[in-house]
């Protein structure tokens, strides 16, 4: 049995969280496991799409890649960053939302619930500050996962950041108020 | 054998085109068949998502609905309008792109190629003018499909418009230069 403290019920945390940093060219993913001593890195990687294919074929590559990750690790939940702004790079935001749609579809198709976190929530959960820098986030991930060096590439680190955010935001409820419809 | 004219090779046209007008709340679809006398309406309908579910669950409903339509009618191609602008309603555009991503994934997963047309291409193909009004488009659809009255609701009519656009833009090549990566 997992150790249980009155303040922090580790036993209620998911055994396996899939974190995703979506992008049309590259989608980073993180498989975060749970041990008695805290969260552990099980696998991290990048799912790539082929640049000269059509949009439908590219997002199909991403969704199928995620499907394979889900089949292999059987995560209980997928954690992903919420999309907000389209103002700076509207075309990029629209293409990313297509990729995100295919990834969410693949997760739902495999029966995996999806939780969304804002970038501020991720930063605050990991560092205590909603305005943390990339370096502070990297440092927090390294400490949390007891890594010898900083995680690379960036999309894999970002996928672990959102997975860790979900891991730490759990207080005995696997799916709580952090779920919204974005 | 289908009749063949030197100018217009009807026999090369797809037997069945699936037109889609994507939306998160409602996605219109059109099944357009081919007959010796021209295009025929086989079925039109709306796939709805449940408003109080999460985004992942909603787009899963849409993708699964499209999967059922594809399983039933076995179309050779999916025709859909291209998304351009995010400036007026950025949140709506992002949500629609998620829905579109799930729909394109479902089509690619079923092995159906996807072709995209701009609103101007659809209008020009159907009416001769890239600035045609909704009413002119409706009139063109009604004439093309020899319907007694105007097609309703709007999302089904729009799905038939893009399906007809694809039908008429074919000149012996099922998948030609009209495919792009959006």
CATH number of the domain encompassing residue A137? 3.30.420.10
Q: How far is B106 from chain A (nearest CA, A)?
A: 8
Q: List, for residues B148-174, the tens digit of each pLDDT value.
A: 999 999 999 999 999 999 998 864 333
Q: Would the pLDDT of B178 be above 70? A: no
Q: Region B112-122: what's the mean pLDDT?
A: 93
Q: Would the pLDDT of B9 be above 70? A: no
Rounded CA separation A96/A81 (Å):
12
Q: Establish whether the linkage from the previous residue to B153 is cis, with ω within 30° of 0.
A: yes
DSSP assignment of chain B equals -----SS--GGGS-SEEEEEE--SSEEEEEEEEEETTEEEEEEEEEEE--TTS-HHHHHHHHHHHHHHHHHHH--SEEEEEPP---SS-HHHHHHHHHHHHHHHHHHHHTT--EEEE-HHHHHHHHHS-TT--HHHHHHHHHHHTT-SS---SHHHHHHHHHHHHHHHH-SS-SS-TT----
- Residue A92: pLDDT band (50, 70, 90) is confident
Q: How far is B63 from chain A (nearest CA, A)?
A: 7
Q: Do A181 and B54 touch (CB under 8 A)?
A: yes
Q: Do A105 and B179 touch (CB under 8 A)?
A: no
- Residue A61: pLDDT band (50, 70, 90) is very high
Q: Would the pLDDT of B81 be above 50? A: yes
Q: Do A56 and B182 touch (CB under 8 A)?
A: no
Q: How far is A45 from chain B (nearest CA, A)?
A: 21
Query: Chain B contacts of A104, Cβ < 8 Å?
Result: 55-56, 59-60, 98, 101-102
Rounded CA separation A83/B139 (Å):
39
CA A5 and chain centroid, separation: 26
Query: Chain B contacts of A89, Cβ < 8 Å?
Result: none
Helix (H, G, I), strand (E, B) or coil at A26: strand
Q: Would the pLDDT of A101 be above 90? A: yes
Is B125 a member of any domain? Answer: no
Is A161 a member of any domain? Answer: yes
- Residue B3: pLDDT band (50, 70, 90) is very low
Which residues does A14 contact at the CB level (< 8 Å), separation at least 6? A34, A75, A76, A77, A166, A167, A170, A174
Query: Using an 8 Å Cβ cutoff, are B11 and B19 in contact?
Result: no
Radius of gyration of chain B (CA): 16
Of A54, A60, A180, the CB nearest to B105: A60
pTM comes to 0.86
Is B179 a member of any domain? Answer: no
Report the DSSP pairing between strands B77-81 and B114-117: parallel
Rounded CA separation B77/B178 (Å):
12
Determine which of A53-57, A112-116, B3-7 has the lowest per-residue pLDDT on average: B3-7
The number of beta carbons lying within 10 Å of the beta carbon of residue A149 is 7
The helix-helix angle for A90-109 and B90-109 (nearest 10°) equals 50
Is B94 a member of any domain? Answer: yes
pLDDT of residue B83: 75
**Mind telling me the catalytic residues of A?**
21, 81, 155
Of B57, B87, B94, the CB nearest to A83: B94
Q: In this structure, what token pair is assigned to residue A85?
A: 């702004």
Is B54 a member of any domain? Answer: yes
Residue A41: which of A124, A139, A164 has the closest Cα? A164
Of A56, A86, A116, the CB nearest to B108: A56
Q: Do A56 and B98 touch (CB under 8 A)?
A: no
Residue A155: which of A30, A6, A1 has the closest Cα? A30
Q: Do B55 and A181 touch (CB under 8 A)?
A: yes
Q: List, for residues A63-79, the tens digit of each pLDDT value.
A: 999 999 999 999 999 99
Strand partners for A45: A29
Q: Would the pLDDT of B7 be above 60? A: no
Q: Region B20-34: what's the mean pLDDT?
A: 96
Strand partners for B16: B33
Query: Chain B contacts of A181, Cβ < 8 Å?
Result: 53-55, 58
Q: How far is B29 from chain A (nearest CA, A)?
A: 17
Is B60 a member of any domain? Answer: yes
User: In chain B, how many domains are there?
Assistant: 1
Rounded CA separation A33/A13 (Å):
10
% of chain A beyond a pLDDT of 90: 74
| ipTM field | 0.85
Residues 37..76 of A with a Cβ closer than 8 Å to B: which? Answer: 53-60, 63-64
Query: Using an 8 Å Cβ cutoff, are A33 and A39 in contact?
Result: yes
Which residues does B37 contact at the CB level (< 8 Å), separation at least 6? none
Q: Does B172 touch chain A (CB under 8 A)?
A: no
Report the DSSP pairing between strands B16-21 and B26-35: antiparallel
Of B54, B55, B101, the CB nearest to A98: B101
Containing structural domain, residue B82? 12-119+153-169
Is A7 a member of any domain? Answer: no
pLDDT of residue A84: 63
Q: Would the pLDDT of A177 be above 50? A: no
Q: List, for residues A23-52, the tens digit of each pLDDT value.
A: 999 999 999 999 988 999 999 999 999 999
**Mind telling me the catalytic residues of B?**
21, 81, 155
pLDDT of residue B75: 97
pLDDT of residue A182: 42
Q: Does A87 touch chain B (CB under 8 A)?
A: yes
Query: Chain B contacts of A55, Cβ < 8 Å?
Result: 104, 114, 116, 181-182
Q: List, for residues B41-61, the tens digit of each pLDDT value.
A: 999 999 999 999 999 999 999
Of A54, A86, A99, the CB nearest to B94: A86
Residue B115: which of B26, B66, B181, B34 has the closest Cα? B181
Q: Would the pLDDT of A169 be above 80? A: yes
Is A35 a member of any domain? Answer: yes
């Amino acid at each position: 049995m997992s150790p249980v403290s009155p303040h922090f019920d580790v036993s209620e945390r998911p055994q396996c969280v899939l974190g995703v940093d979506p992008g049309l060219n590259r989608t980073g993913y993180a498989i975060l496991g749970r041990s008695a001593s805290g969260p552990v890195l099980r696998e991290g990687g990048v799912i790539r799409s082929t640049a000269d294919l059509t949009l439908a074929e590219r997002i199909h590559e991403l969704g199928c890649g995620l499907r394979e990750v889900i089949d292999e690790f059987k995560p209980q939940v997928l954690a992903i960053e919420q999309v907000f702004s389209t103002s700076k790079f509207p075309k990029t935001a629209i293409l990313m939302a297509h990729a995100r749609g295919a990834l969410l579809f693949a997760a739902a198709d495999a029966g995996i619930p999806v939780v969304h976190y804002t970038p501020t929530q991720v930063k605050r959960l990991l560092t205590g500050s909603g305005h943390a820098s990339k370096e502070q986030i990297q440092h927090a991930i390294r400490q949390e996962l007891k890594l010898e060096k900083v995680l690379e590439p960036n999309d894999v680190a970002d996928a672990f950041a959102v997975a860790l955010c979900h891991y730490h935001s759990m207080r005995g409820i696997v799916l709580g108020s952090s779920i919204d419809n974005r």
